[in-house]
Amino acid sequence: MKTLVTLVAALSLSMGMYAQDGKTADPNKTSHEGRMKKDHVMMKNGKMMTVMGGKMTPMDHDMTMSDGSVVMTDGTVKMKDGNTKKLQEGEGVEMNGTWMKAHHMNK
């Protein structure tokens, strides 16, 4: 009986520790380093979207990133050196200008 009580207590303690370490399922967090938790813009279903605080909304204006690059509502990204690229489906740009490849995105 004492062994059973000890086993139940150990299981309860370990379950409580597991829940506190942040490994619980979060529908806004991808399996790739929590990219949905970082603010960014992305091309999703052919439309530009902003993700702020984990909430995705349509992008309604051009945005200048902290590195000076500008992301336009049509998915064109103009870098500070003047070069331009077009975002493909699932690609995005973080607010600091870091390019996010499609396999990092939550599709």
Query: What is this structure's pTM?
Result: 0.63
pLDDT band at 6, cuts 50/70/90? low
pLDDT, the chain, mean? 77
In a domain, residue 78? The reply is yes
In a domain, residue 16? The reply is no
> Any alpha helices (H) in 1-107, and if so which ranges?
2-20
In a domain, residue 10? The reply is no
What is the span of the domain harbouring residue 45? 26-104
pLDDT of 18 higher than 90: no
Determine the pLDDT at residue 103: 64
Determine the pLDDT at residue 46: 96
What's the one-letter identity of residue 63? M
Output DSSP code: residue 45. Answer: T
What pLDDT, in 10s, does the model give residues 43-54?
999 999 999 999
Long-range Cβ contact pairs of 73-82 (< 8 A, separation 24 or more): 73/48, 74/48, 75/43, 75/48
User: How many folded domains does the chain comprise?
Assistant: 1
